[in-house]
Amino acid sequence: MPETRTLSLAEIEDLSLHALMAAGTSEDNARPLAVATAATEADGVASHGLAYIPIYCEHVQCGKVDGRAQPVMSVPKPGVVVVDAATGFAHPAIDLGFDALIPAAREQGIAALAIRNSYNCGVLGYHTYRLAQAGLVGLGFTNAPASIAPSGGSRPVVGTNPFSLAVPGADGQPAVLIDQSASTIAKSEVMKHAREGKPIPVGWALDPDGNPTTDPAVGLKGSMAPSGGYKGVGVALLTEVMAAALTGATLGIHASPFSGTVGGPPKTGQFFIAIDPGATAGSGFSANIAELVEAIRYQEGARLPGDGRRAKRLQASQDGVGVSVATLDKIHAILA
């Protein structure tokens, strides 16, 4: 069992902030990413939390991401917000876009945000969560470097390409939070197993010939297994259209990897749709969502998407989070 150390969420945010800045990231760009890292750890998604800080720092230093980029926003049409991330981190670009997206959705009932020339946005559900907190139904898409082969093929053409849906609840928290990739498991989990020298379960990844493998290193040379077979490929294609084609970002087949130092900026994209439920459903929306949620929670043992993260988030705010000592050592080396 790996050794861990308990840190508060404030300590995680502070550690992330200073490591990113030490690597050459401006404070304006580092802070949104540090806040998201703490929130990700609180939600129990350790693979996208502090473990990613050394990778982010390495990518700033090698030029895969511009730590001092200044995203540029435009509003080409009413209800459409566009942000060019300028090969910088996705988080400050999303923050800038949300500042215009949220009021536009409240004013017009629906609005969209397209982000191009971006980078790994971390946990997509973190961003749609914020739209639900604002009382809006948030739908998000983000594309990634190609790692999923088409049905019947063996050469990757689309990324794990997550989508997320966050539905506002009566308590200011999402009533439903769906955040899932088009692959059976996130690629970061396979990478984590490879770093730790652990085998992966059958069904996570395929070798270069399209056969199942339990060796994470072989899986990383092949392709990720799509969730639900051809249906997972369909979800990945849907997300590729939304997050790359509709934003003017780089297709996954041309994007450099999110891991390692090979290649320049990936220039991938994100796409968000924010909807004011009062504009489309009136007062009946909240009642319908409450009834839907109750129909799931009424069943013993049934789980609602987002419940697990909510429970961990509440516990983490009080008790902190157990963080890998090996990860902390890597981050402290950056600060040294």
Q: Which of 189, 223, 240, 256 is catalytic?
A: 189
Domain assignment present for residue 319? The answer is: yes
pLDDT at residue 314 in the model: 87
User: Which member of 13, 16, 41, 48 is catalytic?
Assistant: 48
In a domain, 231, yes or no: no
> Is 2 contained in some domain?
yes
Domain count across the chain:
1
Would you say residue 171 lies in a domain?
no
Lowest-confidence region among 13-22, 33-42, 207-216: 207-216
**What's the CA gap between 216 and 220, in Å, rounded?**
6
What mean pLDDT comes out for the span 307-334? Answer: 92
Mean pLDDT over the full length of the chain: 94
Which comes out higher in pLDDT, residue 209 or 64?
Answer: 64
Residue 1 confidence (pLDDT):
64
Looking up residue 6, the CATH number of its domain turns out to be 1.10.1530.10
Mean pLDDT over 164-185 rounds to 92
- Annotation marks residue 240 as catalytic: no
Catalytic, 193? Answer no
| E strand segments, 71-154 | 72-77, 80-84, 110-118, 137-142
* Containing structural domain, residue 327: 1-62+309-336
- pLDDT (tens digit per residue) in 30-87: 999 999 999 999 999 988 899 999 999 999 999 999 999 999 999 999 999 999 999 9
The verdict on residue 92 lying in a domain is no
169: CB partners within 8 A, 6+ apart: 132, 175, 176, 289, 293
Q: What is the mean pLDDT of residues 80-96?
A: 98
Specify if 31 maps to a domain: yes
Q: Who contacts 326 (Cβ-Cβ below 8 Å, separation ≥6)?
A: 2, 3
Examine the residue annotation and report whether 189 is marked as an active-site residue of this protein: yes
pLDDT at 185: 86
Percent of the chain predicted with pLDDT > 70:
100
Annotated catalytic residue, options 47, 147, 223, 256:
47
Q: Is residue 98 part of a domain?
A: no
Q: pLDDT value at position 152?
A: 87
> In the predicted model, is pLDDT for residue 2 greater than 90?
no
Asked, for residue 18, whether it belongs to a domain, the answer is yes
The CA-atom distances, in angstroms, between 258 and each of 143, 146, 208, 307, 316 are: 11, 10, 19, 29, 28
